[in-house]
Every structure is written in structure tokens, then in C-alpha cells.
Structure 1
Amino acid sequence: MVKKVFITRNIDEEVIQTLATHFQVEVWHSEHHACPREELMKQAADSHALLTMLSDQVDQELLDHAPQLEIVANLAVGYDNIDVKAAAEKGITITNTPDVLTDTTADLAFSLLMASARRIVEAADYVKQGSWQSWSPYLLAGSDIHHKTIGIIGMGKIGEAVAKRARGFDMTILYHNRSRNHEAEQNLQALYRTLDELLQESDFVVCLAPLTEETKGMIGAEQFALMKETAYFINAGRGPVADEKALIHALQEKELAGAGLDVFEKEPIDSSHPLLSMKNVIAVPHIGSSSFETRKIMMELCADNITHVLTGNDPLTKVH
């Protein structure tokens, strides 16, 4: 019997063809729309492997309707879209794509920091709209980045990569993590702080924390109130870690200078969302790892994990 693999979004054709040499492959061919829940349930019913996106909910209901399922390969580092406990109880392997997207995501996080501080999007729109009529000393003046203090919430590998970039700007590096990262302290001169201390001292707060029961809503009204009025909040981790209503209030009350956001509580964010009408907010559609090179590597890793598991071998990047 040829085993079946269902891919929930159109991915690189070479990767699809590689899988198709060994397995029956079905693909939800769409660039812009997530696989409908009904279709995912239908395909999972006779699939041995699923290659999923963060937008796909792999929950108890789906797993109960997938008796042949052996592996779910998630095209992401995070896997909060998957009920890992339920999968473990059924002996289903869950894999992710760690490490290969570290630098690309760090590039995006630091790009949001720079674009927010220097008002790049606002300035580009100013020129395109024909508003640039003359030069003046404070025309779209922003904030310096060099020699400022960056506070990184979540000093994992992506956090370390962001810290490396910050060193190039001669920034003071603070971090908060659930456990001390002694390697970052030694190699990057990163200084550990409690969350409150980090918020109070930082000019740029970069949130890279994963979404867990402990981190959900951890940055709320009290935390934003601790930040400097000149500070910027950057979130390239998970949207629900920050309370969006509290962020909106902090921005409206000028408790913060601005924000750069790659992730949101609900994705995709509604076009009428208040954050999108604020000039001091840069919002991008969860593109942290979105480079051609990195996405191809992520897809290949998912395919390799699937091939390993369906041929009776150990996966390369098992979550549990």
C-alpha cells in the first residue's frame, strides 16, 4: 500500500515531487487561502502524514478522525496550533522546523525595530503621497538605534541572533527568559533582568517568547505602563503573548513611541483593526521566516521528517 501525504498549502514543486516519488501526495493548491476545515478533516481521514501550516488546527477532533495518521510535520518552529498531548496519546509524531529559520526571523525582527525607530514606512508613504515639498530639520525625525538599550523577551536561538545584530549597533543588551542563558551572557554580553526591570530600562522591547499557558497575555496594561514613553515594542514571537487592547491604549495615551508587529492575537488581522490606522505602528503579515531561501529549507525539512517516519525511521526534528 502506498502511503498518503496531504499538504495543506501549495509549496515548492520540487519538494512535492520528492515526496511523490515515494508516496501518494495530495495538495491544497492555494497561495492565499488556508485549507478549509472541512477539507482538512476529509483529507486527514485517510492520510498517513500531514504537512501543516500554523493556520491549520490539528486538534483532538481531527486526530480522532485520522486513524492512519503517523506524523504531522508543521511548517514552523512554533506548534501551538497542534494538540501535542492528544497526538502523543495516539502515538502520532509531531515535528517542527527549528534552527533553519533563526537568522531570517532575526532579520525581520530587527528590521521592524529599525523601521519603527526611523519611521521608514511613514516616510516612504509621505514621498509617494506627494507630501514632500521641502526639507526641514525635523522632517519625519525618528529615534537613534545605535548605543540604545534593547530588551529581548525570550533569549532562545532567535533572541541570540537578534542580540548579535544589536551588538553591531553598539546597543546595551538586556534579556528576560524563563531560565538564565549563560552562553548569551558570556558571548554577547547580554545582561539578565526581571521582566519589570527589562521593560523599565529598554528603549526597544523585542518580544520573541513562544505561546504557552504561562506567556499568554504576559505583556498587558501594567507591563506597557512600565515602559519608557520613548520606547518601541516589537513583537515577532506570537500575537497572544501581548494584550492588543492594552497596546492600543498605551499607544493612544502616548505611553509608547510606537510598535512593530509581525504577529497578532487573531490572524489574519481585520483591516478595520485600530492598530492598522496608527501611523506609529508597522504591521506585517507574519512573515518572520518568509524568504525564498529559508522557506524552501523549511519545506525540505518537513518532507524529510515525513519520509523518515513513513519509512520506519526516526524523525529529524521531533517535538515530542
Structure 2
Amino acid sequence: MNLRRLKYFVKIVDIGSLTQAAEVLHIAQPALSQQVATLENELDQQLLIRTKRGVTPTEAGKILYSHARTILRQCEQAQTAVINAGQALAGQVSIGLAPGTAASSLTMPLLQTVREQFPDVLVYLHENSGASLNEKVMNGQLDMAVLYDRSPVAGITSIPLMKEELYLVGASTCPGQTIDLTAVAEMNLFLPRDYSAVRKRVDEAFSLRRLSARIIGEIESIATLTAAVSSGMGATVLPESAARALVSSTNAWMARITSPTLNLPLSLNISATQPMSPSALAVKNILLSLLNNSVNEDRELMLVS
């Protein structure tokens, strides 16, 4: 194997078409097909399935794709590190954010701080579900991700940040500062899909109490969820930071769920196998500092109130 063939293979899988990949790579399609054939011969495995609609990777191809992305990313990081030796940090740093996390409110301070300290570093922010973010961290598409994570994930190193309690958020009659889980089960709810950490925690709590959630809609987008809750058709369950953000922008209320109280651990996840670039390490330290300051400020406000 060589790096050029791996680069070709990754591009083919990303695009899903030999013809289009050849155009992007500025190489004749027969020559590109020959490179794939050589790679398959070297590994003694079929890597791609060719159909009229394009190409898809075989199981062996999926394994190679994951390793190839890691190898190419490490080579790129090595080249950048050597070129920038003794110079100011530069390059792109990619960060994943699960919707509704406490880190969402820190995006602007993060961008501003990075801009001030490392003007040649470009921060890329990607919002998606927690499971998707972990996968992207493992295959090298993201340098790090902030998400609610309750169980260890192979290939991921999790840095615990804080725990957030879950709140019921609605716009109809306010039940008070707290609400029993039994009462929550009697309300119409808008919740995320079942792969969400919030949804898993809610489903688990209902199951343990032998309750059933009355779900009238599954919504991932915070903007859409805000509109749905504001309509008064139903309530939702959110971590405290997301609940406060929604309440501050609408006429909604928030009530802490009790009997039992529910919480989720927020973590910063990085790859357990891939080294971070100097730029990524610098941005990670800034993000951790901002999160730490935010947590301390929240604690001081709680003591004052």
C-alpha cells in the first residue's frame, strides 16, 4: 500500500462513484480503477462493490476506509507539525457539539479566544447526535466532541466535565419549581430519537418506574423544539443549560424532575488512538478553561441565590 492509493480509495468511498472521484482527483477513470485493483490485489480482498448507482465498500473496504482516514490524517498532522515547527500555530481544528449541551453557549467565547490567541487556526464546529460524534472522532473527521455520554466507548477517551440535571420545559400551565416523574408521564412530550443520551435516560427512568411516556413528536433540532414547546402542544425534557436557554428565549417555564432526579454527565471526548495536533491541543485547553469558568460561575450564582 502507498499513501496515494489510500487517498484515492478514501475519495472514492466518500463520493460513492468512480467516475466522479476520477473527475475530482483529475485522473482518468481507467487509471483510477487500476489503482483500486492494485490495492485489492495487495490486500487479497475485494474492497468495493460496483453497481449501476455507483460503488459501496465491502466489509473489508469499510475497515480499510477507517484505517486509511486515520493514516492520512496522521500524515497530514505530521507534515503540518514539521512545517510549523517554531512558528505560530495554524490549521483547522474540528469540534463536535451535541445539540443542547452546556458547551453550546461557549461557541462564541471559544471562537473569540482562539481568534485572539491563534489567529491562523480555523475552528470548525459540527453539531450532531452523540453517537454520530463519537464515530467521527474515532475515524478522524473530528478532533474532539462535547456530548452527554453515560457509558465508555471503545476507541474514545472521555474527559468528565460536569453533570447536568434534567428539567421539564413547557409553555402551558406551570406545575411549579419541581415535578414528579409520574406527573411527567401524564403530559404530551416532544423528545429526541431513541439514540439520544437524553432520550435513553428518560426511557430508562420511565421503565424503572413502570411508566410509559406519552410522546407526540420526536425532534432533534433545538429551533424546531423551541417552536413546538412554545405552541403549547406539549413539553420536553432537557439538560439544565439547554432548558435555561430555551426559557430565556420564549415564554416557557422549566421544572426540575424529581422522584427520581435525573442527570447526565457531560464529557469532552477525544480519540484514544490518534494523536492530537498542536493546534487541536491548544483549542482543547481553551475549551476546557472556558467550560471550567462557566461551571464555577454557575456554582457562585447558585450560592448567591
Fold agreement, TM-score > 0.5 = no
Q: Which has the higher helix share?
A: 2
Which structure would you say has the larger RCO, counting Cα contacts within 8 Å and 6 or more residues apart?
2
Q: Which has the higher strand share?
A: 2
Q: TM class, shorter-chain normalised?
A: under 0.3
Q: Structure 2 length normalisation: TM-score?
A: 0.24
Q: Structure 1 length normalisation: TM-score?
A: 0.24
